[in-house]
Structure 1
Amino acid sequence: MPAVVAPARRAGVRRDASSWGQGGVLRQLSALDAQFLSYESDINVANIGGLSIVDGQLSRGDFAELAEERCAVTPTLRQRLMTVPLGLDRPYWVEDEAVDLGYHVRELALPRPGNDHQLAEQVAWLHEQRLDRRYPLWEVYVISGLRGRRAAVYVKAHHATVDGVGGAVLLNAFMDREPSPKRQQPGPRAEPDRVPPRAEVLARSVAGIIAHPARLTRSVVETVPYLDEIPLVSQLPGAVPVSRAVRSVTRRLAGLEGVPELPSLAVPWTPFNGPISRHRRFAFADLSLDEVRSIKNAFGVTVNDVVVDLASTAVRRWLIGHDALPEEPLVACVPFALRKKGVEETGNRVTVMLTSLETQIADPRERLQAIHEAMQKIKDRFDLAPAQWLQGLCESVPAALTGLADRAFFGLLARGCPAVNLTVSNVTGPRIPLYVCGREVLAQYPVSLINDAGGGLNITAFSYNGELGMGIVVDRAMVPDVWHIADYLHDALEELKSLVG
């Protein structure tokens, strides 16, 4: 089996505003994409991934053959970073001349008995390891030794490459809708992408620095209407009234209706807030999507509301068990996708909004209703005025200072007042069964990230073929009993089912 595959070239690729050169495309990372690179350290690792359980045995050789085919037709798998001299500007994506599958596709085996806890422990260790930036930013691990004649495939990529939705697309690039699909053929070959000389890259970067004051002014102006959505900034004196006043005037002048005001959310302390370590724990759980939908219909809420409520209930029970439940509600970071339906977009097209988890409410019915009202408020606001503060904030910092600014900001959040308590996310996946190397994918679980800014706990849901795969990533020291949270998710679903009758 060849260890290196030369990428197929693509003809007729459209250039965008951040591309230049003759003979191909040279695409620059967006400010948000680059932020995931700049803040990364051995502790704040910016990997996102997915764990798939497949029916039957699977070897590295089988998967390497599949990966060779998919690398030829999936541009993201062939992109590596080209940095700018002296770090004066954001990096660019260039195609790897030959993708080294000996590096990207690896294998390991679990010791007996090959149970879920052993699998999760191995995935946690793999997930906390940084990706080598000299290669395209993805790796695949084929894991054998699972009991029940199953195998696992763990795929990880850097957050600079994809967001949560894009990560699902990348994961599914290795999967098929049928056990024996036709071989995917690459498109026609085109001239290789031209990688400009370092002097040319440097000159372009210097020109960008000269123009940055204008971009900075524009970004700051565009960010002001969203000050009441930005963690910590919204708690500064005067931030909320200024934000509301500017937003009211600008929307009125544009002939747009007003947007719902967001409540001021004070972030309480929890055991999973503070500086995280470099070590992770991971657990996963399966919930019935049909049962979640029946609860949704019975209470007149959304699937996303139920997912957030399940996370709220599970975290509430964990905090009670550790005698650490605050009187105030926990505050969660909830990502929102900015991708347009039917439009293929690379990189990160996401923003985040904050919501109250209502963990202080003991009654499960009241807690679900309160979460629904809180989520509805931010959804109504998002539908009228999608939050752009994250992009604006990233654009406002000069590229040469981004790394220093990001690491300083993360350190401030970790050691001072937390910006949020945790992250809760819900990603929509395929509704049909998928196959990898002819084996059916039995389950899929998201493996997301934690950092100093977002807290040492992340609960992400991924829907697949009638099931809701829950992935829980935590700091190893902060939450040593991560599987308790997985159990509490099951308990939370049973509690809501009992209310439906």
Structure 2
Amino acid sequence: MPDRLSALDASFLYLEDPTTPMHVGTVLLFQQSRGARRRAASGGGRGADGRAGGGLEYGRIAALIEQRLPLAPRYRQKVVQVPGRLARPVWVDDPDFDLDYHLRRSALPRPGSDEQLADLVARLMSRPLDHSRPLWEAYVVEGLSGDRVALITKTHNAMVDGIAGFDIGQVILDDAPTVPRIGDELWMPEPEPGPVQLVLDAATEAVRRPGEIVENVRVAAMDVAATLRDVTQAFGGLASAVRTAARPTAQGPLNVSISIQRRYAVTRTRLADYRRIRRAHGGTVNDVILAVIAGALRNWLLSRGEVVTASSTIRAMVPVSVRDPETNPDDAAAREAAPGTEPAAEDVAGPVAGGKVSAYLVELPVGEASATLRLHHVGHAMRAHQESGQSVAAGALVRLSGFAPPTLHALGARAANSFSRRLFNVVVTNVPGPQVPLYAAGTKMVEMFPVVPLAKHQALSIGVGSYDGGVYFGLNGDRNAMFDVDVLAGMIDESLDELLGTV
């Protein structure tokens, strides 16, 4: 029987519209040595098996992805609808899978600038994925200044199911320049089920779980709002989320009708600066990042002439990785040894096996003029969430706001259109990454920037990721509403400098 999409994953297909494509992205930047670039241009160099040396270019990335596809089988599968929508769609092997369609080559006029790359990212992310093919794309971008090559990935949230979901960028990265060889595997697609078989399978499942067919018919009738209301009433774990949403967010320039097109901007900072601030003021690195964003949003609002009072706040949806002391005793011991601080390993480690994910609704104090007080307010709010148990549980958000925890960026991206405007003003995802260099086909990755999609009526999303000593911000904004997204990106540096001045 085919692998059927979960109700949540199917909802991302049904709720998607031209202004809110449901894909998450990443911009990976690789640094080539001049010698490697010359060897690649002359046709020499190391192949995907790591037996010689060379630069990173389209052919090498294509060979590497093709070799690693068995690690991510979903990337060769497409979504097939059941006739009459009697059941949720199914994943089936794409018999016409064509890597050259999904992996594309692009270039900027040399020497391509970061601004030109950001414009390209915005255009690519504005385009929805083709639902008749596997739901992903990747672009190799050459011509960047400084002998750099970029890989831009797009993956639909329906593919990232929290169990077998990978971004294609993950499977091609290694922790050493020498590329480990994955065993060659001849891929033979399974026959695609016909309409009759799909209906029979749906009927069999309906007999086993008769309640599901009612929901499937309602979705087929596009009664999405009624379905979400029923889900809200059916799960007692939603109570805290409903109470949180009872007080609407303050409306402003971040909550508007959005267009099809996007703008994108990035900011580079250093992890050591956040640690310095944390050591001086307490709290966590995540607290400092949120305080920096609060300061940048404050200055951005003022630059627009918006009214900012002492009580002004912007509500952020902040997914946070929470470690279980029972499964991570070393972390618990470290906290007891240094109360109020965070172990060095903790502020750079990502989600771990046995860990948990919570999503907090945090009021960013944009009305507070003092950088230090902004940090204390954020730290107090985060501690209150953790200690009082009043945070919105990730399991509840799966059902209420379309969130799921495959990765923290994908968690932040799964905001359902029906609730996003009331629940929060902006999504801020912070994914601590590896603090050691990673390589693709022997070429070092130097930077990585997330691209978090927009929810309905939300003009901005902020993705943050740390990697190899850097903290990288990716700001995805609506092209009309966030015409000055690059200005906001620059204000992140200014806000960080302001906090560093207090150390």
Q: TM bucket by the smaller chain?
A: 0.7 to 0.9
CA distance in 2, matches of 1:467, 1:268: 33
- Which position in structure 1 is the counterpart of 2:241? 229
- Which position in structure 2 is the counterpart of 1:331? 315
Contact 2:93 2:192 in 1 (8 A): no
Which is further off, 356-365 or 176-185? 176-185
- Which position in structure 2 is the counterpart of 1:430? 434
Partner deviation per Cα, 1:26-65 (whole Å, 9 max, x = no partner): 3322222222212111111111111011112532212111
Which is further off, 79-88 or 429-438? 79-88
- 2:29 is equivalent to residue 45 of structure 1: no
- Which position in structure 1 is the counterpart of 2:496? 493
- Which position in structure 2 is the counterpart of 1:268? 250
CA distance in 1, matches of 2:308, 2:501: 26
Which is further off, 101-110 or 84-93? 84-93
Deviation at 1:219, TM superposition (A): 5.0
CA distance in 1, matches of 2:390, 2:423: 24
- 2:428 is equivalent to residue 421 of structure 1: no
Deviation at 1:207, TM superposition (A): 3.9
1:28-107 aligned at under 5 Å gives the runs 28-56=4-32, 57=37, 58-97=56-95, 99-107=97-105
Contact 1:424 1:459 in 2 (8 A): yes
- Which position in structure 2 is the counterpart of 1:130? 128
CA distance in 1, matches of 2:485, 2:301: 12
CA distance in 2, matches of 1:381, 1:29: 35
Structure 2 vs 1, CA of residues 191 and 336 (structure 1 numbering), >3 Å: closer, same or farther? same
- Which position in structure 1 is the counterpart of 2:211? 211
Deviation at 1:210, TM superposition (A): 3.1
Contact 1:33 1:161 in 2 (8 A): yes
Instruction: From 300, 307, 310, give the equivalent of 2:292.
Output: 310
Partner deviation per Cα, 1:190-219 (whole Å, 9 max, x = no partner): 994884712223314644773249999995
Instruction: From 118, 121, 127, give the equivalent of 1:120.
Output: 118
TM-score, normalised via structure 2 length:
0.76
- Which position in structure 1 is the counterpart of 2:372? 365
Q: Aligned AA for 2:382?
A: M
Instruction: From 352, 357, 361, give the equivalent of 1:354.
Output: 361
CA distance in 2, matches of 1:462, 1:285: 11
Partner deviation per Cα, 1:89-110 (whole Å, 9 max, x = no partner): 3222223345311101101111
Q: Aligned AA for 1:153?
A: L
Contact 2:86 2:213 in 1 (8 A): no
- Which position in structure 2 is the counterpart of 1:471? 474
Structure 2 vs 1, CA of residues 354 and 394 (structure 1 numbering), >3 Å: closer, same or farther? closer
- Which position in structure 2 is the counterpart of 1:199? 199
Contact 1:176 1:434 in 2 (8 A): yes
CA distance in 1, matches of 2:173, 2:323: 22
CA distance in 2, matches of 1:152, 1:189: 28
Structure 2 vs 1, CA of residues 425 and 178 (structure 1 numbering), >3 Å: closer, same or farther? same
The alignment partner of 1:111 has SS state of: strand
Structure 2 vs 1, CA of residues 370 and 106 (structure 1 numbering), >3 Å: closer, same or farther? same
- 2:471 is equivalent to residue 459 of structure 1: no
Contact 1:273 1:418 in 2 (8 A): no
Structure 2 vs 1, CA of residues 325 and 91 (structure 1 numbering), >3 Å: closer, same or farther? farther
CA distance in 1, matches of 2:308, 2:422: 14
Deviation at 1:271, TM superposition (A): 1.3
Q: Aligned AA for 2:241?
A: E
Contact 2:401 2:419 in 1 (8 A): no
Q: Aligned AA for 2:315?
A: V
CA distance in 2, matches of 1:81, 1:142: 25
Using the aligned pairs only, state the percent identity: 31
- Which position in structure 2 is the counterpart of 1:448? 452
TM-score, normalised via structure 1 length:
0.76
Instruction: From 465, 468, 487, give the equivalent of 1:484.
Output: 487
CA distance in 1, matches of 2:484, 2:162: 25
Structure 2 vs 1, CA of residues 293 and 92 (structure 1 numbering), >3 Å: closer, same or farther? farther
- 2:396 is equivalent to residue 389 of structure 1: yes
Root-mean-square deviation (Å): 3.3
Contact 2:241 2:397 in 1 (8 A): no
Q: Aligned AA for 2:13?
A: L
The alignment partner of 1:334 has SS state of: strand
Structure 2 vs 1, CA of residues 124 and 467 (structure 1 numbering), >3 Å: closer, same or farther? same
Q: Aligned AA for 2:319?
A: P
Contact 1:35 1:394 in 2 (8 A): no
Deviation at 1:322, TM superposition (A): 0.2
The alignment partner of 1:463 has SS state of: strand
Q: Aligned AA for 1:369?
A: H
- Which position in structure 2 is the counterpart of 1:12? none
Deviation at 1:85, TM superposition (A): 2.0
The alignment partner of 2:318 has SS state of: strand
CA distance in 2, matches of 1:385, 1:139: 33
Structure 2 vs 1, CA of residues 432 and 136 (structure 1 numbering), >3 Å: closer, same or farther? same
Deviation at 1:111, TM superposition (A): 2.0
CA distance in 1, matches of 2:282, 2:398: 33
Structure 2 vs 1, CA of residues 190 and 149 (structure 1 numbering), >3 Å: closer, same or farther? closer
Structure 2 vs 1, CA of residues 376 and 339 (structure 1 numbering), >3 Å: closer, same or farther? closer
Structure 2 vs 1, CA of residues 499 and 342 (structure 1 numbering), >3 Å: closer, same or farther? closer
CA distance in 2, matches of 1:300, 1:109: 45
Where do 5+ consecutive residues of structure 1 fail to align?
1-20, 237-264, 396-408
CA distance in 2, matches of 1:175, 1:64: 13
CA distance in 2, matches of 1:53, 1:222: 45
Aligned length in residues: 426
- Which position in structure 2 is the counterpart of 1:378? 385
Deviation at 1:282, TM superposition (A): 0.4
